């Protein structure tokens, strides 16, 4: 309907037309061809008016008067339109169709009016010039469908519609690649997102070549529809695009006309709600009510064609070879057949003839578990029996049981539980073709109808059944699929291996691009469920009418599935026998978890402590493998884990670690990183260091699993990755216009704990200490080694991880995880991941060696004994510091007084000795001088200050010369005193000398 402005302009035009003028006399009366009808906008009461609008204003007079129209919510049924003259619903004529109150978009030769493709600006790009890199990203019309972008740019397909009443929108889509994020949501005219449940917003993945339908209810008023794609793409891999077709919207205004059928379609009867495609070898034009047959002698037309095409000369791309089924003589041969429908011409210039059939050859033997009773077909062995495919089926001996499964290595006919098909999103050329063909010792991709066909091979397994003697436990191996293949390509071919569990959604397990040599791949199932495995091969993803790569091929030589519940047996394995006699055909009994079968006694025997039972190994004690260093087995002896305790002995010192301080699970948000288009993303790593039961790390996709209902979550029906080390890709909410942060591409990095050691190599995995240089090495680093048993195309031995625990007293107890600065993605080769976990909780347990004693001062007869940690403290937990002790002691005052007294005595003694020896030295000098004087008679008399004997000196020791000294009497002393004034105060001393005449003066 027109807008209010348009209505006012129309009313003004009508009034101008109805206004009498001087020239009215010469104008003719208006006929039905001179005007058309439209409704006015609805008023507040929900009513409207029908008015006549002239085709050419001013050319006629007498327009019909406005009349009250139908209710605003009125609409016709599908196949009808509203005839405005009578305001009644009328059937569409043959060759046309109508949706009633809806509109449909099923032709995508160009972008229909009203649709807009908008690429989101890269606001988080680190370089401004990268903002222009998404200008070429858009939704592209491809004839019958729309194709999204193939890069990580966020591109929105937008369509706005105004509904007169409540309605819905429905569409079909293909969403095969979870590397792209695909959401559908609705906004009102205020750009506010309408209330929408999660399962309506995020679209589920589809199988390759499968179209899924999606419908969402719409409210009356303006609805802006958004189909949005985007997401980070790692490396140079190109994502598979999202495909969209058959968009239908119900609840719009009345339909006042019918739409003609597009070329290649027709509607035979009136009142058709849609047009049907023309059959093969027929065509139709615009608005056809029937299809015209082509001249099939020289022309052909695919289904839904608008024109006939000339048949080309036959070539090698128009036929294929197959191996016939075994005949009654046990013979088979290679024959060639034309690809159906045959569109080429034989017997014309340049035509390639059909090659003759090959010679009859003996049929290959039956596959293991099947037998041939001299018939042309192989039959499965009955339950409880086995066969290698050559011998007749035999019953398993006592003490053994069959091993159910499938082992396909001979390809004469397609097995009963397998099927093959061909699909192309843009045409239906190969819908009736076989996607894969038998070739004796292998099965190979078929010719298909176009180079971009998906050639599909599928095998369905209803469930898994463990051998009787094996008990199930959480996370164990229920079964595995192994296949051997090779690809030979000159184009960008790709082989997908996909899995659909319980018929929910198909996920790509692994893919290979380009030519690949003959190799083997295996995938392990860790839960009992119904599963379909699919191989899809595409020669190129570029559509073309010309066949260029028909010789590009993939060959699968063998497919083996173990423990299939409906499988056959090719051999028997030993089992545990019941101790009680049994009347049943099989006396095998199940062994408890962690028990192996003793081949000598045929009894269940528990694995020794700190060993775990390996699956898919021969019975016997060798089935129990010892746990690695620093690990222990769980109670069931099914796996090994670390109990967070580790001991290391070096010399006479033993270090004991308790890593439980670090917590059950550590997380690291690494980044941000940017893709080539500028999309910001992070890598989220979750690590379970001590991964005992219930303490594993979990990574969940909130995009592909967001449609899971709460009851399904309670049952555990979500594809969360639970393991020791896992990784998710996180897109921030502000990065691409998404309203919440998105977690996607969760992968398992390590599901097996190998051990913990201070060494740098364990079980072929090498830690790289040079990636994390140490500032001090008083405490050795402890390396935790992990491995994933599932191989990938780039990691034939599976991924592995090394978590290095380093004692750092400056960190918190929880610590901090980091990756190498040289390898910011956590891995330098794509297969081995390295992490450093620095924490004070990674320090060894404290012992008596980690503290020392300090003695306090003695005060008041008491002394304190203190204990302090040796710095830097490099330990955690363990022993605590002893309490302060107070011991009795003697006061320091007594010892000080005693010391002072001894010091004073010693000083006096030293002074006395000094004086004594000084005096003695003077006398010795005197005696020496006297001796010199006595020996030299002619010498001059010595001075008095050198040889005189001082008054008061005593004669000590024996001398060679005797000095005779006469002591004066009392009277003599008095005389001496009296004569003192006269200067005569000397004494006479007689020396007895060897020289009697010598004199001595005194």
Work out the average pLDDT over 559-585: 78
Tokens for 784?
Answer: 């935790």
- CA atoms of 457 and 419, how far apart (whole Å): 6
Q: 649 by DSSP, 3-state: which?
A: strand
What confidence tens digit (pLDDT) does each residue in 635-670 have? Answer: 888 888 888 889 998 888 889 998 888 877 888 887
Work out the average pLDDT over 730-759: 76
Across-strand partners of 576?
589
Exposure string of 310-337, with b = 16+ CB inside 10 Å and e = fewer, is ebeebeebbbbbbbbebeeeeebebeee
Confidence of residue 158 (pLDDT cuts 50, 70, 90): very high
> Nearest-CA neighbor of 51 among 35, 34, 62, 38?
38
Beta strands 28-29 and 60-61 are parallel
Using omega within 30 degrees of 0 as the cis cutoff, is the peptide bond preceding 168 cis?
A: no
- Choice between 709 and 807, residue whose per-residue pLDDT is larger: 807
Which residues make Cβ contacts (< 8 Å) with residue 824, sequence separation at least 6?
670, 671, 673
pLDDT > 60? residue 31: yes
Residue 623's CB is within 10 A of a number of other CB atoms, namely 19
Range with the poorest average pLDDT among 114-128, 626-640, 939-953: 939-953
> Nearest-CA neighbor of 752 among 489, 483, 477?
477
Residue 962's CB is within 10 A of a number of other CB atoms, namely 12
Q: Which residue has the tokens 């999660």?
A: 198
pLDDT > 70? residue 613: yes
- CA atoms of 43 and 659, how far apart (whole Å): 74
Burial class (CB in 10 A: 0-12, 13-18, 19+), 176: buried
As a whole-number percent, the residues of the chain with pLDDT over 90 amount to 19
Beta strands 155-163 and 361-362 are unpaired
Exposure string of 103-120, with b = 16+ CB inside 10 Å and e = fewer, is bbbbebeebeeebebebb
Alpha-carbon distance values, 550 to 356, 436, 555, 694 (Å):
20, 13, 14, 52
Specify the DSSP element, H or E, that contains 4. Answer: helix 4-18
Q: 722 by DSSP, 3-state: which?
A: strand
| CA 291 from centroid of its chain's CA atoms | 54
As a whole-number percent, the residues of the chain with pLDDT over 70 amount to 80
What confidence tens digit (pLDDT) does each residue in 861-907 have? Answer: 788 888 898 888 888 888 888 888 888 876 656 667 778 888 889 99
pLDDT of residue 199: 60
Work out the average pLDDT over 748-768: 90
pLDDT > 90? residue 288: yes
Q: 813 in the Ramachandran plot: left (φ > 0), alpha (ψ -120 to 50) or beta?
A: alpha
Confidence of residue 69 (pLDDT cuts 50, 70, 90): confident
pLDDT > 60? residue 198: no
Which residues make Cβ contacts (< 8 Å) with residue 578, sequence separation at least 6?
587, 588, 589
- CA atoms of 543 and 541, how far apart (whole Å): 6
pLDDT > 90? residue 802: yes
Q: 230 in the Ramachandran plot: left (φ > 0), alpha (ψ -120 to 50) or beta?
A: left
pLDDT of residue 11: 45
Work out the average pLDDT over 913-933: 84
pLDDT > 80? residue 679: no
| CA 544 from centroid of its chain's CA atoms | 36
| CA 802 from centroid of its chain's CA atoms | 16
Burial class (CB in 10 A: 0-12, 13-18, 19+), 961: middle
What confidence tens digit (pLDDT) does each residue in 817-843 have? Answer: 999 988 888 888 888 999 999 988 889
Range with the poorest average pLDDT among 226-240, 351-365, 792-806: 226-240
Across-strand partners of 486?
555
Alpha-carbon distance values, 937 to 929, 944, 948, 963, 994 (Å):
13, 17, 17, 18, 12
pLDDT of residue 983: 45
pLDDT of residue 92: 92
Confidence of residue 409 (pLDDT cuts 50, 70, 90): very high
pLDDT of residue 925: 83
- Mean pLDDT estimate for the chain: 79
Alpha-carbon distance values, 989 to 539, 934, 941 (Å):
146, 15, 16
Inter-residue contact 764 to 831 (CB < 8 Å):
no
Range with the poorest average pLDDT among 183-192, 428-437, 735-744: 735-744
pLDDT of residue 121: 53
Highest mean pLDDT of the ranges 7-16, 35-44, 187-196: 35-44
- CA atoms of 185 and 228, how far apart (whole Å): 8
- CA atoms of 35 and 29, how far apart (whole Å): 12
Residue 90's CB is within 10 A of a number of other CB atoms, namely 16
pLDDT of residue 475: 55
pLDDT of residue 708: 42
Which residues make Cβ contacts (< 8 Å) with residue 683, sequence separation at least 6?
669, 670, 671, 673, 727, 728, 729, 730, 825, 826
pLDDT > 60? residue 1001: no
Inter-residue contact 184 to 173 (CB < 8 Å):
no
> Nearest-CA neighbor of 247 among 221, 213, 288, 201?
213
pLDDT of residue 694: 59
> Nearest-CA neighbor of 112 among 225, 13, 230?
225
pLDDT > 90? residue 588: no
Beta strands 632-633 and 640-641 are antiparallel
| CA 400 from centroid of its chain's CA atoms | 42
What confidence tens digit (pLDDT) does each residue in 760-794 have? Answer: 999 889 999 889 888 767 889 999 999 987 777 77
- CA atoms of 278 and 286, how far apart (whole Å): 12
pLDDT of residue 739: 56
Q: Which residue has the tokens 């306090």?
A: 856
Work out the average pLDDT over 567-574: 88
Please, what is the Cα angle at 12 between 6 and 13, to 5 degrees? 90
pLDDT of residue 532: 92
Work out the average pLDDT over 581-606: 73
DSSP assigned state of 468: T
Which residues make Cβ contacts (< 8 Å) with residue 588, sequence separation at least 6?
399, 400, 401, 468, 469, 575, 576, 577, 578
Which residues make Cβ contacts (< 8 Å) with residue 862, sequence separation at least 6?
886, 887, 888, 889
Tell me, letter by letter, the H, E, C secondary structure of 473-535: CCCCCCEEEEEEEEEECCCCCEEEEEEEECCCCEEEEEEEECCEEEEEEEEEECCCCCEEEEE
- Choice between 973 and 245, residue whose per-residue pLDDT is larger: 245
What confidence tens digit (pLDDT) does each residue in 541-564 have? Answer: 887 767 788 889 999 999 999 989
Confidence of residue 19 (pLDDT cuts 50, 70, 90): very low
Inter-residue contact 160 to 224 (CB < 8 Å):
yes
Which residues make Cβ contacts (< 8 Å) with residue 997, sequence separation at least 6?
none
pLDDT of residue 68: 84
Using omega within 30 degrees of 0 as the cis cutoff, is the peptide bond preceding 672 cis?
A: yes
pLDDT of residue 790: 77
Work out the average pLDDT over 490-505: 85
pLDDT of residue 579: 62
Q: What is the pTM of this model?
A: 0.65
Beta strands 67-68 and 385-386 are unpaired
Work out the average pLDDT over 187-204: 71
Q: 779 by DSSP, 3-state: which?
A: coil
Inter-residue contact 365 to 371 (CB < 8 Å):
no
Residue 955's CB is within 10 A of a number of other CB atoms, namely 12
pLDDT > 60? residue 985: no
């Amino acid at each position: 309907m027109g807008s209010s402005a348009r209505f006012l302009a129309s009313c003004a035009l009508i009034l101008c037309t109805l206004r009498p003028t001087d020239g009215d006399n010469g104008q003719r009366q208006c006929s039905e061809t001179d005007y058309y009808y439209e409704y006015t906008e609805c008023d507040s009461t929900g009513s409207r008016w029908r008015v006549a609008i002239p085709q050419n204003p001013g050319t006629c007079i007498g327009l019909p008067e406005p009349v009250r129209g139908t209710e605003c919510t009125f609409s016709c049924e599908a196949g009808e339109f509203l005839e405005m003259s009578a305001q009644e619903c009328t059937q569409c004529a043959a060759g046309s169709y109508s949706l009633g109150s809806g509109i449909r978009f099923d032709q995508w030769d160009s972008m229909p009016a009203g649709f807009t493709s908008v690429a989101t600006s890269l606001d988080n790009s680190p370089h401004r010039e990268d903002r222009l890199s998404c200008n070429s990203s858009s939704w592209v019309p491809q004839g019958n469908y729309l194709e999204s972008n193939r890069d990580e740019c966020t591109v929105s397909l937008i369509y706005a519609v105004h509904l007169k009443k409540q309605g819905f929108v429905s569409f079909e889509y293909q969403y095969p690649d979870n590397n792209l994020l695909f959401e559908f949501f609705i906004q009102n005219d205020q750009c506010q997102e309408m209330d929408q449940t999660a399962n309506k917003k995020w679209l589920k993945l589809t199988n390759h070549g499968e179209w899924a339908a999606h419908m969402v209810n719409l409210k009356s008023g303006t609805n802006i529809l958004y189909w949005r794609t985007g997401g980070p793409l790692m490396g140079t891999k190109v994502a598979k695009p999202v495909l969209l077709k058959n968009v239908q919207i119900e609840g719009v205004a009345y339909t006042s006309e019918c739409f003609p059928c597009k070329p290649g379609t027709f509607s035979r009867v009136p009142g058709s709600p849609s047009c049907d495609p023309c059959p093969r070898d027929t065509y139709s034009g615009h608005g056809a009510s029937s299809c015209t047959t082509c001249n099939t002698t020289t022309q052909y037309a695919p289904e839904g064609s608008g024109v006939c095409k000339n048949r080309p000369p036959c070539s090698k791309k128009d036929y294929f070879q197959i191996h016939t089924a075994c005949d009654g003589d046990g013979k088979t041969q290679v024959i060639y057949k034309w690809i159906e429908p045959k569109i080429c011409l034989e017997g014309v210039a340049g035509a390639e003839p059909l090659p003759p059939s090959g010679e009859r050859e003996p049929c290959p033997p039956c596959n293991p578990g099947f037998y041939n009773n001299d018939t042309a077909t192989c039959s499965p062995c009955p339950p409880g029996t086995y066969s290698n495919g050559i011998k007749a089926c035999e019953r398993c001996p006592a003490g053994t049981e069959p091993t159910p499964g499938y082992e396909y290595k001979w390809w004469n006919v397609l097995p009963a539980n397998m099927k093959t098909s061909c699909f192309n999103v843009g045409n239906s050329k190969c819908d009736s073709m076989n996607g894969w063909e038998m070739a004796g010792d292998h099965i190979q991709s078929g010719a298909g109808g176009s180079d971009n066909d998906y050639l599909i091979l599928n095998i369905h397994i209803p469930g898994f059944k463990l051998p009787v003697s094996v008990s199930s436990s959480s996370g164990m191996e229920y079964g595995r699929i192994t296949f051997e293949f090779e690809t030979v390509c000159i184009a960008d071919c790709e082989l997908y291996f996909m899995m659909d569990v319980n018929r929910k959604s198909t996920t790509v397990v692994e893919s290979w691009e380009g030519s690949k040599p003959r190799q083997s791949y295996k995938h392990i199932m860790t839960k009992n469920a119904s599963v379909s495995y699919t191989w899809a091969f595409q020669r190129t993803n570029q559509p073309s009418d010309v066949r260029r790569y028909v010789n590009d091929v993939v060959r699968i030589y063998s497919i083996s599935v173990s423990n299939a519940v409906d499988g056959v047996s090719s051999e028997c394995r030993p089992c545990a026998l019941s101790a009680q006699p049994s009347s049943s055909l099989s006396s095998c009994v199940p062994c408890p978890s962690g028990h192996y079968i003793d081949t000598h006694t045929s009894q269940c025997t528990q694995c020794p402590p700190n060993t775990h039972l390996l699956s898919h190994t021969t019975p016997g004690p060798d089935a129990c493998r010892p746990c690695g260093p620093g690990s222990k087995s769980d109670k069931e002896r099914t796996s090994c884990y670390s109990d967070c305790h580790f001991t290391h002995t070096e010399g006479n010192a033993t270090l004991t670690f308790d890593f439980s301080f670090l917590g059950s699970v550590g997380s690291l948000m690494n980044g941000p990183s940017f893709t080539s288009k500028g999309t910001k993303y992070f890598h989220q790593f979750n690590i379970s260091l001590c991964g005992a039961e219930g303490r594993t790390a979990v990574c969940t996709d909130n995009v592909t699993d967001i449609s899971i209902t709460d009851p399904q979550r309670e049952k555990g029906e979500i594809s969360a990755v639970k393991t020791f080390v896992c990784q998710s890709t996180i897109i921030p909410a502000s990065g691409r216009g998404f309203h919440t942060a998105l977690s996607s591409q969760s992968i398992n990095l390590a599901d097996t704990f190998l051990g913990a050691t201070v060494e740098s190599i364990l079980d072929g995995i090498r830690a790289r200490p040079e990636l994390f240089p140490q500032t001090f090495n008083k405490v050795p680093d402890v390396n935790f080694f992990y491995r994933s048993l599932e191989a990938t195309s780039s990691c034939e031995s599976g991924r592995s991880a090394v978590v290095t625990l380093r004692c750092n007293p400056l960190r918190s107890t929880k610590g901090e995880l980091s990756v190498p600065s040289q390898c910011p993605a956590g891995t330098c080769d794509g297969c081995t991941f390295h992490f450093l976990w620095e924490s004070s909780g990674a320090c060894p347990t404290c012992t008596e060696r980690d503290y020392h004693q300090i003695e306090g001062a003695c005060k008041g007869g008491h002394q304190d004994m203190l204990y302090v940690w040796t710095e830097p403290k490099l330990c955690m937990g363990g022993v605590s510091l002893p309490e302060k002790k107070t011991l009795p002691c003697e006061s320091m005052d007594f010892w000080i007084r005693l010391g002072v007294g001894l010091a004073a005595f010693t000083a006096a003694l030293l002074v006395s000795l000094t004086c004594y020896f000084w005096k003695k030295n003077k006398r010795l000098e005197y005696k020496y001088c006297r001796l010199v004087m006595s020996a030299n008679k002619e010498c001059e008399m010595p001075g008095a200050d050198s040889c005189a004997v001082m008054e008061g000196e005593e004669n000590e020791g024996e001398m060679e010369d005797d000095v005779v000294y006469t002591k004066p009497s009392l009277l003599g002393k008095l005389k001496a005193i009296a004569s003192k004034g006269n200067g005569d105060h000397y004494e006479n001393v007689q020396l007895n000398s060897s020289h009697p005449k010598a004199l001595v003066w005194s």
